[in-house]
């Protein structure tokens, strides 16, 4: 499977759907071209030292390689943002999470972002005035 390499490609995928799993967060975006699916890997310094980050990337690459081509949606780009639990989660669970996550993240009903919607600046001002008065 092809990999994403440029920052602009990662930023484009970040505008798509987002879905959390135990060992990673899946971001996905459908493309209009008929190219093979591509995947990118992000492992931040929060997850550990360079040895741990490299091991996480190798495990994620191996989990993607374990999937059959029919299980990976075509015409799409994916980014896997790793969590530190990607090192300790059993490999078969990692593969199962990938199978379920890659299909779901492209569903239009998949919410983007985290948790509750944030308040806009106007709404934040009105609630703070109520508390003062």
pLDDT at 86 over 70: yes
Helix (H, G, I), strand (E, B) or coil at 35: coil
Q: Where are the domains of the chain?
A: 2-114
Q: How far is residue 105 from each of residues 33, 51, 53, 67, 124, measured CA to CA in Å? A: 19, 29, 24, 16, 31
Rounded CA-CA distance 98/46 in Å is 22
Of 63, 73, 62, the residue nearest 29 (C-alpha) = 73
pLDDT tens digits for range 70-80: 889 888 999 99
Residue 85 has pLDDT above 50, yes or no: yes
Which CATH fold topology does 2-114 show?
A: Ribosomal Protein S5; domain 2 (3.30.230)
3-class state of residue 77 by DSSP: strand
pLDDT digits (tens, 9 = 90+) for 101-110: 998 898 877 6
Which of 83, 103, 105 minimizes the C-alpha distance to 94? 83
pLDDT at 52 over 50: yes
């Amino acid at each position: 499977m092809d990999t994403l390499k440029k920052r602009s490609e990662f930023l484009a995928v970040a505008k798509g759907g987002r879905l959390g799993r135990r060992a990673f967060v899946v971001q996905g975006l459908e493309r209009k071209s008929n190219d093979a699916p591509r995947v990118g890997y992000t492992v931040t310094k929060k997850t550990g030292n360079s040895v741990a980050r490299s091991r996480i990337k190798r495990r994620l690459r191996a989990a993607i390689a374990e999937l059959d081509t029919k299980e990976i949606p075509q015409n799409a780009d994916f980014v896997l943002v790793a969590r530190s639990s990607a090192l300790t989660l059993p490999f078969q669970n990692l593969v199962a999470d990938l199978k379920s996550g890659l299909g779901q993240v492209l569903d239009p009903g998949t919410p983007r972002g985290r948790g509750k919607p944030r308040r806009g600046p106007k709404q934040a001002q009105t609630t703070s005035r109520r508390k003062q008065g």
